[in-house]
Structure 1
Amino acid sequence: MYRLENDLLGDLNVPEKAYYGIQTQRAIDNFHISGVRLFQYPEFIKGLAYVKWAAAETNFTLGLLDEKIKNAIVTAAKEVIEGKFDKEFPVDMIQGGAGTSTNMNINEVLANRALEIMGYQKGEYQYCSPNDHVNLSQSTNDAYPTSIKLAAINSNVKLIGHLKLLIASFRKKGEEFKSVLKMGRTQLQDAVPMTLGQEFEAFAANLEEEIERLNQNSALFFEINMGATAIGTGLNAVPGYAKLCAENLAKISGHPFVSAPNLIEATPDTGSYVIYSSALKRMAIKISKICNDLRLLSSGPRCGLNEINLPPMQPGSSIMPGKVNPVIPEVMNQVCYRVIGNDLTVTMAAEAGQLQLNVMEPVLTYAIMESMELLANGMDTLRMKCVDGITANVEHCREMVLHSIGIVTALNPYIGYKNSTKIAKEALESGKSVYNLVLEHNILSKEQLDDILNPENMLAPKG
């Protein structure tokens, strides 16, 4: 069953039960691109609804919107925010038109639901119009980017929650492994001793820095261009609308939104998306590096480093019996590569803005929202299926330290770099231990040597 709707291009059938209308239907027909629909990002849909709610309140306060219609739009927006109509947003995330299809999708859903609330039928737009009422004093060019920003702010809060759990997992392992002596490495070569706990605590500290970066960069989203309408001149809005709409959005969303001081500058500007995406990339690079380390530390088990054991998650080969692969760090690496690629997409989409508008915001939005979702899911997987279950091969780690050449570094302050180098070279060539060579050459007494080369004395600065 269908209802007939009409727009600039003519008539078109829309499913009778659908809350979306003709322009959404055209977008469904036109954009078979990514296969990823708006409803797959509920925070984005909520952002759209919050913006329309704030606009309705503002228009009513300024005497532009009837109270009955305002109340119906606000009620409908609240229902959308509650997730009642997610499936009514089937438009592809990647679309032409600078987001017009997305803006009209929310306009039509709210209009038709408001019509129902007021006792009318879907499509009776003379009583509540997607354009004349829901989109009053707005354009896609201010409503769409503001919705993106609100969605990104809320998604950032959730992302940091996932990040904090991963940090806590690494920190817990740092405490668990604090007495496990091992060899540190630089350039994949033996360096000096450390503990496995220090290594895992460093992972935690490395990621903890990203909380501040993400929050710092997401704060740029608080400046919005509502009231700019098409290009920033505020055509079809009234004086005071921009400031009041920002205040209303801040009040209902709980975030400190402010109106941009120059709406013509703010409308095509996508700088905040670029810098936030760069923070996602930075975090992805760090996580990927940590995953590389986990794969190296667990390599083997007989012919690699074999310092730690990752939880075995699945058989690793269709041909090699007994092989188990580090599949969880591997999948997290791939997540990070995707995020890094998405950052380039954001960069190029931002650069493609022309004159008074950036029409590439849909792919920019998709890239950021996908990166955040991938990182959140990936970090949960890494934490629960890998980090939480890591165990240490304690004796193996200690044996490698005691037989390493690297401990000769501790002799530098006592016998000098030149003598230390000579001992290290002889140890490498002869296969003898550093310990025995120092005694053979009568460089130090056994008591002195035992104290200097006690591995536990080499883990921190010594006075």
Structure 2
Amino acid sequence: MSGFTGATRQEKDSLGFVEVPAEALYGAQTARAIVNFPISGLRASPFLIRAIVMVKYAAAKANGDLGLITRPQADAIMKAAQEILDGQHLDQFVVDVFQAGAGVSFHMNTNEVLANRASQILGGTLGEYQHVHPNDHVNYGQSTNDVFPTAMRLSASLALQQLDPVLHSLAKGLEGKAKEFDGILKSGRTHMQDAVPIRLGQEFAAYTVTICRAKDNLQYADSTLWEVGLGGSAVGTGINTHPEYRELAIHYLKQISHVPVWPADDMRYAMQSCAPMATVSSALRTLALEVIRISNDLRLLSSGPNTGFREIDLPGLQPGSSIMPGKVNPVLPELAAMVGFQVIGNDAAVAMAVQGGQLELNVMMPTMAHNVLQSITILTNSLRELDHRCIRGITANADRCAFYAQSTVSLATALNPYIGYARAAQVVKESIATGRSIIDIVREEKLLTEDQIATILDARAMTEPRPKEA
């Protein structure tokens, strides 16, 4: 359904009568939420919609198997759920991401959509709920308090499945540049000052390890999401559930989602604590911090073209100025950094929400779900573009790098074992004052023989530990 004609139907809930768009699959409680929460204009992530619909599919299948709802009702709910998983009816999930606590409004939006569509499948009409009721059938043996935490965890795990291959590809892209640039000598820099030589490939190899470590961290965080409390019902005690429902529903959820979910050891814990969301958000924040750092390095290394480092060139993607002709900016590293800032802010919101629970429930789950899923989505999209449209196209300015490698005054570091730190420091001061190279000063003052100069002040040799002398 893509739009409404303006006609309405009247539905009744526990508070009274409500006008609902005649063609809407949602019902009275969703209509109230639309009025109550005109906050951001943002709607639930597709990952959260898929996850909660998977939970409903699994619950209907379990309840049907156990005879708790009729087989036709179970089959109709499952068919309606499958339609949504296939991409239909997504415009019917209309509740703002900022809503009543615990996600009750989004949950009822889901129950109503599934109930109305299932009723249609069984020959009923929208809003009558005689064939399938949102609470009595779609939500049988369930509560927002166990459904939403389960869907929230599952949605984050589903989203991370999209980020993981992007990080793998990004690491491969950086690894490729590490190999391509391995023979290019340049000056290292610490404190933004000249340091001993390093190879450009070594810098990129370190970036590769950084992304791999962040990827590993996220994979661990993902695994903490798989313990779910579905079946806990209102307060984690399993009230109004069949003794076999919990295990069966989670078994079916594992089947349909292909995520290795398993029943929580303590359903109260899974309802009270949202620590896994903090773990995931923290891992996303760590990734963001590292991406910001690498992006800043790429901007520095490519700065110029005439008055900066310009040790590397980034692909030119678009004009960089409305007034300066020919200017090209490092747009994707800039984008990646800005996305990183947003992820860090999202993590702060998640942290506050995770500690915001009281007693048997954390009602701040909607903001956790929104912020974690947004972080995963924008990192996935920005890092994919950074990889394919920036990293893969980086080229090195080998001559410029070589010039800096020979010009760094920190070449004098290699003199320490031979002439001592104090004398080497004098050589550095003279080099800075006169503009002459370290090698020229050492040669002129006969501090080393020519053979020693060739060996000790070999910039390439400085990029690896010096072998033990025989």
Shorter chain as denominator, the TM-score bin is: over 0.9
Q: What is the one-letter code of the residue matched to 1:452? A: I
* Residue number among 425, 438, 441 corresponding to 1:437 in the alignment: 441
Q: Does 1:320 align with 2:318?
A: no
1:93-172 matches, cutoff 5 A: 93-172=97-176
Shift of 1:30: 1.6
Residue 184 (1) aligns with residue 188 (2): yes
Q: Which residue of 2 aligns with 1:367?
A: 371
Asked if structure 1 preserves the Cα contact closer than 8 Å seen for 2:124 and 2:130, the reply is no
CA distance in 1, matches of 2:330, 2:324: 15
Aligned to 1:8: 14
Q: The residue matched to 2:187 in structure 1 has which SS?
A: strand
Determine the C-alpha separation between the residues in 2 that align with 1:298 and 1:363: 38
Deviations 1:148-203 (A, max 9, x none): 11111111111111111211221121122122111111111111111111111211
- 1:302 shift after superposition: 1.6
Which moved further from structure 2: 80-89 or 244-253? 244-253
Residues 59-458 of structure 1: pairs in structure 2 closer than 5 A: 59-458=63-462
Q: Bigger shift: 356-365 or 376-385? A: 376-385
Deviations along 1:374-420, one digit per CA (max 9) or x if unpaired, are: 10111122123322222211111101111221111122233332322
Alpha-carbon deviation of 1:293? 0.4
Residues 315-362 of structure 1 deviation map (CA, whole Å, 9 limit, x = unaligned): 323333333222221121110000000000000011111121111111
Q: Which AA in structure 2 matches 1:36?
A: L
Counterpart secondary structure, 1:267: helix
Q: Is the 8 A contact 1:94 1:362 kept in 2?
A: yes
Please tell me the residue identity of whatever aligns with 1:203: Y
Indicate conservation of the 8 Å contact 1:24/1:91, yes or no: yes
Read off the aligned partner of 1:379 and give its amino acid letter: L
**Greater displacement, 420-429 / 374-383:** 420-429
Percent sequence identity over aligned pairs: 44
Contact 1:42 / 1:83 at 8 angstroms: preserved in 2? no
| C-alpha separation in 2, matches of 1:67 and 1:321 | 70
- Between 52-61 and 151-160, the greater mean CA deviation after superposition: 52-61
Deviation at 1:67, TM superposition (A): 0.8
CA distance in 2, matches of 1:431, 1:120: 89
Which residue identity does 2:233 align to in structure 1?
T
Tell me the distance in 1 between the aligned counterparts of 2:102 and 2:448: 76
Q: Distance in 1 between matches of 2:286 and 2:108?
A: 35
SS in 2 for 1:20: coil
Task: Report how far residue 101 of structure 1 moved.
Answer: 0.9
C-alpha separation in 2, matches of 1:223 and 1:285 = 28
Alignment equivalent of 1:54, drawn from 38, 55, 58: 58
Per-residue CA shift, 1:211-239, capped at 9, x if unaligned?
Answer: 21111011111111111111112222232
Task: Give the 3-state SS of the residue equivalent to 1:124 in structure 2.
Answer: coil
CA shift, 1:265, in A, is 2.3
Compute the displacement of 1:262 (Å). 1.7
**What's the counterpart of residue 31 of structure 1?**
37
Q: Equivalents in 1 of 2:215, 2:325: separation in Å?
A: 42
Asked if 1:21 corresponds to 2:18, the answer is: no
| 3-state SS of paired residue (2:332) | helix
Q: Greater shift after overlay, 432-441 or 407-416?
A: 407-416
TM-score (norm 2): 0.95
Range with bigger deviation, 394-403 or 170-179: 170-179
Q: Is the 8 A contact 1:49 1:80 kept in 2?
A: yes
User: Normalising to structure 1: TM-score of the pair?
Assistant: 0.96
Give 1:270 deviation, angstroms: 0.7
- Residue deviations 1:57-100, cap 9 Å, x none? 22123221111111111111111111112111111111113201
